[in-house]
Amino acid sequence: MGTEAPNWVAWAREPGHESYYDYGPLFFEETVPAPGRRTLDLGCGEGRITRDLRRRGHDVVGADGSPTLVTAARDAEPGAFLVADAARLPFADATYDLAIWRSGDRLQRLDDLDDLNPLSGGRGVSGLPDRLARSGQRVRGTPMSLQRSDEGGREGEDEKERVDRELIELLNELRVALPGVQILFAFMLTVPFSQRFAELTNFERWVYFAAFITAALGTALLIAPSSYHRLLFRHGDKEQMLFTSNRLLLCGMGFVAASITLSVGLISEFVFGTTAALIAGIGIGGWLCWFWYGLPLTRRGLREHPKG
């Protein structure tokens, strides 16, 4: 490992070179408990996961069997890194609440290792469960894949079943969003052909055009997952498609929110004047931003940074 470690460090620190850069944030958001506990990063390597945990508020120690990698971790960011064998960890019982372990393209949370056998080349992990169970706390210890859904893997569900279920969940959400967007876009298409469209001022026409374009962009993004799926059918890329479709859905809803806000402002301007348009537009825009983005992001923030 001594001669290979420097090359591995350079590879691991190249942004976007492997799946961790795509899926790591989701793991931290959905799988790792909130900060405020002692955390052990087993097999920390050059320390990037340890650094990410520390930035999220965890009191974390990184342990690895390679002195070269531990030195690289300390050079990158001074902190608690040590050379240790996972089978003979130099810690007293109940030292840590949580352990994280990277294995290939899986990032796992190990809260209860009673059923975990080989770790690090087949060596058993004797005594490690006691070191993780401060005050007798235990959490279900099933290793969790890096690519987690909102609910996590269900009991007895393999990775393919989980991806299929999450894709169905996303398609069901699209079925809720698309009809309303299609109705909005259809309405925008008919507006220029109405009799009173000629009464719009030049400014109002630009507002209408912006609402029309954002509705078109939102519609395109919300339909895009279907085209993505068809073009990559049976190419073995379903999980990446799931994450891409999730981003498309979020971006598409942003354009839909902009179109609704502009449409409400335009109609209010036409019927009641500028003051009503500003009040209605700002009010509806804020309402959509809060319930579509602010509320879930606030919840996520509370999970990541709990008070007290």
Per residue in 6-24, pLDDT tens? Answer: 666 666 666 655 556 666 6
The string of pLDDT tens digits covering residues 80-91 is: 888 887 667 777
Residues of the chain with pLDDT > 70, as a percent, come to: 67
Residue 202: pLDDT over 90: yes
Alpha-carbon gap, residue 1 to 66, rounded angstroms: 7
Instruction: Select the more confidently predicted residue: 97 or 78.
Output: 78
Residue 266: pLDDT over 60: yes
Instruction: Select the more confidently predicted residue: 60 or 153.
Output: 60
117 SS3 class: coil
Residue 120: pLDDT over 60: no
CATH fold of the domain at 5-136: Rossmann fold (3.40.50)
CA distances (Å), 3 to each of 6, 65, 75, 202, 224, in order?
A: 7, 14, 18, 70, 46
Residues of the chain with pLDDT > 90, as a percent, come to: 24
Alpha-carbon gap, residue 51 to 60, rounded angstroms: 9
What are the residues whose beta carbons fall under 8 Å from the beta carbon of 231, sequence distance 6 or more? none
Residue 143: pLDDT over 50: no
Alpha-carbon gap, residue 39 to 32, rounded angstroms: 10
Residue 54: pLDDT over 70: yes
DSSP code of 34?
P
| Strands in the chain per DSSP E | 38-42, 59-64, 81-83, 98-103, 106-109
The string of pLDDT tens digits covering residues 37-53 is: 678 888 888 888 888 88
Of 100, 108, 107, 99, nearest to 134 (Cα)?
99
Residue 295: pLDDT over 60: yes
Alpha-carbon gap, residue 183 to 190, rounded angstroms: 11
Of 141, 163, 136, 134, nearest to 240 (Cα)?
163
Q: pTM for this one?
A: 0.50
Residue 115: pLDDT over 60: no
Residue 252: pLDDT over 50: yes
Query: Which of 34-38, 63-67, 88-92 has the lowest average pLDDT?
Result: 34-38
| Domain locations in the chain as residue ranges | 5-136, 159-304
What are the residues whose beta carbons fall under 8 Å from the beta carbon of 58, sequence distance 6 or more? 32, 35, 37, 39, 98
Q: Where are the alpha helices (DSSP H) in 133-237?
A: 159-190, 202-231
